[in-house]
């Protein structure tokens, strides 16, 4: 059976030649579509005319303007060979979806849809940065670990101003991505505005093949004892078993506690966040999904925790989004872990992907995430219990005050409390 997917991550244009894109969440049954006319009918399903909700847009919306413009182009446009019907349909659908004004609701062409699915495999070519559109600006969500973007010094919240000398401040996310993408080994020059320091910075980045490890772990020795560190770079296909493997190996060590590092983790599978939370929580909710109609749908832990007692700290930053925020929010609300770092990105809406004819798809915002205590992740993000920044100077010098604070907290004997 074909399937559609609920998305739990950033609004990222899924271009495998550029960056790891929209990671997928829970699976839903696919809407079965058969031809372009049915595709358009489905896409017109919802909206308002003069304040009234449309029940049947095909009957209630006059599309004569669209067809009139199409005929005028056919009759008068100077380069008739440029009037490619399929591309014009894609353009019309893209404009229809973009008119909603929700950057998370996106139409994907067949190529973009294919690259979207490939991105979850963890191997891609490009600069290795997750991008999004916010307040009509294209900005960096997070550079992927070990990527050319990270090595060059791109940071979360950097606003992209120019690409190869071209001003892109009035362009869409798709247009900016199109300029940045390119073959492995080629160079792209990107100028950004960095709000943190109120300055412009330019980077020359060589596009490369990028492998994104889902999970990495190690034991850090200190004068006070040993601490296990698990770095989660994404919530992908293999993340849950890799976390289980890491915990199994670390369990044999004499550890004072565990640091779960989800900094720069843009999210992924909803089930992954629930499954990983279930490893540390004995009972209770992990997240609630609130739709426009009906009661919220609650997702609970499995009731089979593997490590419910080990002291924990979770590290977050501006690059922590979606499934990362779900996991951090659940552990915080249940007082299971101390949250250290800076406020997370705040990606708190749910998207479902519906496959369309011709291998295209549409991604629609259908709900929002709420933490177990009812906090709106999209409105608030996750606010750490202990706020500690890690500046560019710290990065350049190899310092990690957030990790240092987390380890110090584990040996402090402080309690995060209980429900």
- As annotated, the active-site residues are 322, 347, 351
Other beta carbons within 10 angstroms of residue 152's beta carbon come to 18
The closest of 356, 352, 378 to 364, measured between CA atoms, is 352
- For residues 82 and 73, give the distance between their C-alpha atoms in angstroms, rounded to a whole number: 10
- Give the CB-side neighbour count of residue 256, counting CA atoms within 13 A: 17
The tokens describing 268, both together, are 């992924």
- For residues 325 and 331, give the distance between their C-alpha atoms in angstroms, rounded to a whole number: 10
Phi then psi dihedrals of residue 276, to 5 deg: -75, -40
- For residues 279 and 301, give the distance between their C-alpha atoms in angstroms, rounded to a whole number: 8
- For residues 284 and 199, give the distance between their C-alpha atoms in angstroms, rounded to a whole number: 45
Phi then psi dihedrals of residue 95, to 5 deg: -65, -40
Task: Give start and end residues of each alpha helix (H) in 34-127.
Answer: 36-43, 57-60, 64-76, 85-98, 110-119
- For residues 288 and 226, give the distance between their C-alpha atoms in angstroms, rounded to a whole number: 36
The tokens describing 363, both together, are 């991604």
φ/ψ bin of 95: left (φ > 0), alpha (ψ from -120 to 50), beta (otherwise): alpha
């Amino acid at each position: 059976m074909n399937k559609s997917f609920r998305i739990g991550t950033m609004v990222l244009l899924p271009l495998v030649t550029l960056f790891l894109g929209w990671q997928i969440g829970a699976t839903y049954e696919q809407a079965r579509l058969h031809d372009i006319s049915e595709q358009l009918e489905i896409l017109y399903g919802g909206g308002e005319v003069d304040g009234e909700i449309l029940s049947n847009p095909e009957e209630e919306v006059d599309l004569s303007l669209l067809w009139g413009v199409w005929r005028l182009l056919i009759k008068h446009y100077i380069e008739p060979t440029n009037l490619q019907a399929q591309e014009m349909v894609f353009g019309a659908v893209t404009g229809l979806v973009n008119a909603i004004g929700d950057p998370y609701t996106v139409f994907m062409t067949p190529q973009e849809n294919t690259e979207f699915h490939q991105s979850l495999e963890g191997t891609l070519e490009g600069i290795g940065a997750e991008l999004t559109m916010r307040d009509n600006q294209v900005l960096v969500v997070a550079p992927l670990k070990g990527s050319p973007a990270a090595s060059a010094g791109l940071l979360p919240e950097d606003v992209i101003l120019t690409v190869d000398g071209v001003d892109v401040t009035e362009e869409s996310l798709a247009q900016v991505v199109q300029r940045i993408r390119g073959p492995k080994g080629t160079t792209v020059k990107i100028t950004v505005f960095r709000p943190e320091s109120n300055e412009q910075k330019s980077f020359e980045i060589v596009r490369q093949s990028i492998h994104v490890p889902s999970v990495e772990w190690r034991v850090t020795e200190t004068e006070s004892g040993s601490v296990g560190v698990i770095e989660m770079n994404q919530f992908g296909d293999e993340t849950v078993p890799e976390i289980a493997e890491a915990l199994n190996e670390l369990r044999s060590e004499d550890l004072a506690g565990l640091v779960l590092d989800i900094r720069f983790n843009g999210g992924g599978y909803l089930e992954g966040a629930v499954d990983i939370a279930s490893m540390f929580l004995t009972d209770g909710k992990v997240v609630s999904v609130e739709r426009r109609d009906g009661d919220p749908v609650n997702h609970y832990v499995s009731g089979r925790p593997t490590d419910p007692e080990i002291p924990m700290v979770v590290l977050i930053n501006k690059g922590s989004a979606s499934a990362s925020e779900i996991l951090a929010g659940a552990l915080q609300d249940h007082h299971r872990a101390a949250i250290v770092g800076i406020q997370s990105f705040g990606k708190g809406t749910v998207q479902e992907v519906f496959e369309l004819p011709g291998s295209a798809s549409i991604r629609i915002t259908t709900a929002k995430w709420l933490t177990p205590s009812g906090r709106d992740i999209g409105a608030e993000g996750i606010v750490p219990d202990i706020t500690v920044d890690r500046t560019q100077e710290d990065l350049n010098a190899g310092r990690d005050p957030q990790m240092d604070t987390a380890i110090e907290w584990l040996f402090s004997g402080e309690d995060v409390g209980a429900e």
